[in-house]
Amino acid sequence: MPQRQPHSALTVSSAQSHHILNSIPTVIYELAITGKGFRTEWISDSVKRILGYEVEEALAPDWWIDCLHPDDKEAAVKKTSLLMSQGQLVQEYRFRSKDGHYLWTQDEVSLLRKADGQPKEIVGFWTNITERKQAEARAAQVRKQVFERGELLGSSDRNIAVGSVLAALIISSSFLWGMTITGLTVFVVCCILGFIVIWLVVKSGKY
Over residues 195-203, the mean pLDDT reads 60
- Percent of the chain at pLDDT above 90? 47
pLDDT at 60 over 60: yes
Q: What is the pLDDT of residue 78?
A: 92
The per-residue pLDDT for range 142-154, each reduced to its tens digit, is 888 887 777 655 5
The per-residue pLDDT for range 8-54, each reduced to its tens digit, is 544 545 666 666 666 677 999 999 998 888 899 999 999 999 999 99
Over residues 58-80, the mean pLDDT reads 95
Q: What is the pLDDT of residue 184?
A: 52
- Which residues face 68 on adjacent strands? 95
| Measured CA distances, 190 to 128, 167, 174, 186, 204 (Å) | 66, 12, 14, 6, 21
Residues 40-43: contacts with CB within 8 Å, 24+ apart? Answer: 40/64, 41/121
Over residues 107-130, the mean pLDDT reads 94
CA nearest to 38, candidates 21, 67, 54, 59: 59
The per-residue pLDDT for range 160-177, each reduced to its tens digit, is 655 665 555 555 555 544
- Classify each residue of 88-127 as buried b or exposed e, where b means 16 or more C-beta atoms within 10 Å of its C-beta: ebebebbbbbeeeebbbbbbebebeeeeeeeeebbebbbb
Over residues 71-83, the mean pLDDT reads 93
Taking the CB of residue 198, how many other CB atoms lie within 10 A of it?
Answer: 18
Over residues 88-98, the mean pLDDT reads 97
Taking the CB of residue 205, how many other CB atoms lie within 10 A of it?
Answer: 11
- DSSP secondary structure code for residue 100 in this structure: S
Average pLDDT, the chain: 79
State the burial class of residue 48 (Cβ atoms within 10 Å of its Cβ: 0-12, 13-18, 19+): middle
Q: What is the pLDDT of residue 182?
A: 61
